[in-house]
Structure 1
Amino acid sequence: MLSQGFVSAASIAASVLFILSLGGLSNQEKAKRAVWYGIVGMAVAVLFTALGPGIGGYWWMLPMMIVGAAIGVYVAKKVDMTEMPQLVAALHSFVGLAAVFVGWNADLERRRVLATQLAESSTEGFSAFAALVATKNPAELMFLQIEVVLGVFIGAVTFTGSVIAFGKLAGKVDGKPKQLPGGHLLNAGAAALSLLLAILYLSGAGFWTLLLMSLLAFFIGYHLIMGIGGADMPVVVSMLNSYSGWAAAAIGFTLSNDLLIVTGALVGSSGAILSYIMCKAMNRNFVNVILGGFGGSQGPAAEIEGEQVAIDAGGVASALNDADSVIIVPGYGMAVAQAQNAVSELTRKLRSAGKNVRFGIHPVAGRLPGHMNVLLAEARVPYDIVLEMDEINDDFATTDVVIVIGSNDIVNPAAQEDPNSPIAGMPVLKVWEAKQVFVCKRGQGTGYSGIENPLFFKENTRMFYGDARKSIDDLLPLVE
């Protein structure tokens, strides 16, 4: 067993590694090294926490750690990049549920300490946490109860909210917004009742108040996320990421674990910043999103005129061979089809022919920020031709050919032209301004969010139907 000083030093080292990891993830070239910083930091955190003072029960802790690690390795190898958003949501649910369990246990231990001290004035046989509780004065015990309330409430909301987000992203739950009769009033009533139960709990009421508050928080998490549509799910995932961090930080205060406090604060603050960035990228009001779209657009969407005109590989290749400038806009469909390597080869051929080829990346392309950048980096697409929306949006008007691969909402002109559209006001890539637009798409469906796209009906747009990977593979031999 290590001394507390040694554990504190390890905690500082792990915290620095986590900060370096977060900082490095903002750059594609440093991202791989940044991930290793995070891996090493977490290994240090787990190891030195397990070996710290007052920790026991290794006979069951070690097998559980091995089982958990084995499950993690299995999931990491099995999950595709396209499934990463729902995996992130699932992992958030684990953090939330852990916060609930730790909070419950902390309160039960607090009650046991108080009962034992009153009866025997002894702390013999107490756990490390219980012994810590026994040293606290009444004011400190009140702060402990506040920490428990916050950790349990945020954790419970995070758990059920993340489970529903996972279901929607994985297609196991309908992506359309749904609420029970009463809608937002149910959420407000549950929140008000939770506050009342929290006050009763802090006033000395029994464990039942904490349990009932947890059940209400579980409902709030479920009902909030059920009321959010598929178009807003990227913001929801980052929001839940933030919630899980704050839940962890609250439990860190409960356990007097400095590393958990720092790590939770890092996750919570970075998730909140990311949520703000994504709301800005989608022109969404953050409060409206988390309230299930409260105050969203009203009225019927504008009718779309015209028809979708199909084109074959030969027609697309002919246009590419005649073009001087090409912009490729990748989306979730490219990820699903695992077409990034074929797209990379197409890019190489076009650039070898002297054409100006670039990529336009929307901040929420692929349902999570950075998803497309990672796929393109894996396929060895040069970093300098992968541009963000703000960097490339003004260039579409002077571009000969745009190839949209598996995108819908991020290239939807209804966001700017139809005030009644569910994505009204959302900044999008203005691909329709190019001379020719080719949309690589499986079929005529509306995509994940269920929103129709007028782009597909425009005169300068042709639909290149089929699996994205096969379509690009068919295109490659025809490109000179």
Structure 2
Amino acid sequence: MFVEYCVGLSGLVASGLFIYGLKAMSSPVTAVAGIVAAGYGMLFVVAATFLNLFNITPEARPNLLVNVGLGVVALLLGSLWAGWRGRTVQMTSMPQMVAIFNGMGGGSAAALAAVELLGNHDIPLLPLSVTVIGALIGCISLSGSLIAWAKLDGRIRKPFRFSGQRAFNAALFAATVVLAVLTVMRYATPSAELPRDLFFGAALLLGVCMTLPIGGADMPVLISLYNAFTGLAVGLEGYIMNDPALMIAGMVVGSSGTLLTALMAKAMNRSLTNVLFSNFGETGGSSKGPEGEMTAADPADAATTMRYGASVIIVPGYGLAVAQAQQKLYEFVKILVAAGVDVKFAIHPVAGRMPGHMNVLLAEAGVPYDMIYDMEDINDSFATTDAALIIGANDVVNPEALTDKASPIYGMPILNAYKAHQVFVIKRGSGTGYSGVENPLFFQKNCTMVFGDAQAVLSKMVEAVKALGST
């Protein structure tokens, strides 16, 4: 009785810490404390799992030592590898790591369902149906997240599309549902195990086929969606295992992931079905190419202009993360601020490769939170600012989204950087962004390109403004 009381109490405490941790993560100021709190919640759950071994049935005791040993080995390997990767991962690889870790959560839920379905004991219809649904969602999250990881890591460089792909995916989904129903019906005829095995294979394939055609610009939304899938699958399996902590954690992750997915899709002015099935980057019309020529400038000239301006808004993009130049950028910003320049950072909801990517990047460099503004809070300020500095961003500042109905990004809200009196763009080359869409901003008369690696360019800018201070 005492053990059962402790296990139940640990689940309640863990659930409370999970919810508090998620709430705290909504603000950069309290995010670290939230992560630590959620970590303690997970520690309570793991401890309760081992404590619950004292309640094991006599029939299961012969395998107790083996199971405990396997659990300890898995816990040590997972903790060591995840801890090492968490400490050594580069900011450019953070989206890939999030995708792969998220996939492991979905895979775990699918594995729990597989264990239930491989058993020979009778399962009531409702729990059995929930198990199969959890297996379906977990499998999709696992295989889909693995493909997302490959895309983010550059192992799959282009969306994979073919004629009739949507019809094929619809047929595959229908077949998977039929196999799921047959898997539930299998318990009426235990010898028919083939539907169960085919169901898992079809569910994994469905996750792959859903993800392959989705373009790079939709990756932040996709990662958020699979995060919601993983939470939902974990919550369902928690119900099957009668584990309140697992249910609560899964429901919290699933609901927050769903809300974040909706917000991300709204930020792109697209529905979720449009994200999943529209083949982003393909249009029915013909978009006109940009007119004019790009104007290039030396980093020192760009830095000098910003040094003697009254206000600067900085738009960070994935190129900043690739160059690992966030520290050098903040060094440049501190010099501008010391000279009396009003500097702000503008963050687009889908900037980078995952939700919140740019916020994490700037926090890593030590940028104060009160200098960072969301799109809706700063967009009106571009028209009155002296200079906008865009670093490695493309699609989120593309004015074509506002004007060209033939463009695949038409209707997507953007940062109005093009309205600034002067726009400087640090970019390695003149190519397109992640979505493959050309940006006419780079050809405007008020826009100047500063070509080069962001780390090298910002270093030269720092040197230039320091020299101005000594003269």
Q: Flag the 1:147–1:446 CA change in 2: closer, same or farther, 3 A.
A: same
Aligned to 1:276: 262
> How far apart are the structure 1 equivalents of 2:19 and 2:279?
33
Other-structure match for 1:100: 110
Pairing partner for 2:132 from 139, 149, 152: 149
Give 1:196's aligned residue: 178
Secondary structure, aligned partner of 1:437 = strand
Residue equivalent to 2:379: 393
CA contact 2:182–2:196 (8 Å) conserved in 1: no
Show the counterpart of 2:448.
Answer: 462
TM-score under structure 2 normalisation? Answer: 0.92
**Letter of the aligned partner of 1:347 in structure 2?**
V
Alignment-derived partner of residue 286 in structure 2: 300
| Distance in 2 (alpha carbons) for counterparts of 1:280 and 1:100 | 30
C-alpha distance in 1 between matches for 2:437 and 2:82: 36
More moved, 332-341 vs 228-237: 332-341
Distance 1:260-1:422 versus aligned 2 partners, 3 A rule: same
Asked whether the equivalents of residues 297 and 419 of structure 1 are also in contact (C-alpha less than 8 Å), the reply is: no
Distance change in 2, residues 1:168/1:227 (3 Å):
same
Secondary structure of 1:448's partner? coil
* Dislocated runs of 4+, deviation >3 Å: 292-297
Whether the 8 Å CA contact 2:214–2:280 is kept in 1: the answer is: no
- Contact 2:289–2:438 at 8 Å: present in 1 too? no
| 1:442-453 pair list within 5 angstroms | 442-453=428-439
Which residue of 406, 416, 435 corresponds with 2:421?
435
Task: Report the Cα distance in structure 2 between the residues aligned to 1:322 and 1:76, rounded to whole angstroms.
Answer: 41
Q: Counterparts in 2 of 1:20-419, with a 5 A limit?
A: 20-52=20-52, 53-54=55-56, 56=64, 57-109=67-119, 111=120, 113-114=121-122, 141-175=124-158, 177-203=159-185, 204-205=188-189, 206-293=192-279, 297-419=283-405
Q: Which secondary structure state, in structure 1, belongs to the residue aligned with residue 433 of structure 2?
A: coil
How many Å apart are 1:200 and its aligned residue?
A: 2.2
Quick one: structure 1 residues 180 and 256, their matched pair in 2 at CA, closer, same or farther if it must change by over 3 Å? farther
Residue type at the aligned position of 2:317: G
Distance (Å, rounded) in 2 between the aligned partners of 1:38 and 1:25: 10
Shift in CA distance, 294/397, structure 1 to aligned 2, threshold 3 Å: closer
Q: CA RMSD in A?
A: 1.8
Q: Which amino acid aligns with 1:324?
A: A
Q: Retained in 2: the 8 A contact 1:148–1:254?
A: yes
Aligned to 1:136: none
What do residues 215-248 of structure 1 show as CA deviations (whole Å, max 9, x unaligned)? 2211211111111111111100000000011111
Task: Give the percent of matched residue pairs that are identical in Structure 1 and Structure 2.
Answer: 40
Counterpart secondary structure, 1:402: strand
Aligned partners of 1:314, 1:59: CA distance in 2, in Å? 62
Structure 2 stretches lacking a partner, 5+ long: none
How far apart, CA to CA, are the structure 2 residues paired with 1:148 and 1:296?
A: 38
Conservation of the 8 A alpha-carbon contact between 2:215 and 2:435: yes
Residue 362 of structure 1 deviates from its aligned partner by 0.7
Check the 8 A contact 1:441/1:468 in 2, yes or no. Answer: yes
Aligned to 1:129: none
May I ask how many residue pairs the two structures share in their alignment?
Answer: 452
User: Does 2:455 align with 1:473?
Assistant: no
Gaps of 5+ in 1: 115-132, 134-140
Does the CA-based 8 Å contact 1:179-1:223 persist in structure 2? no
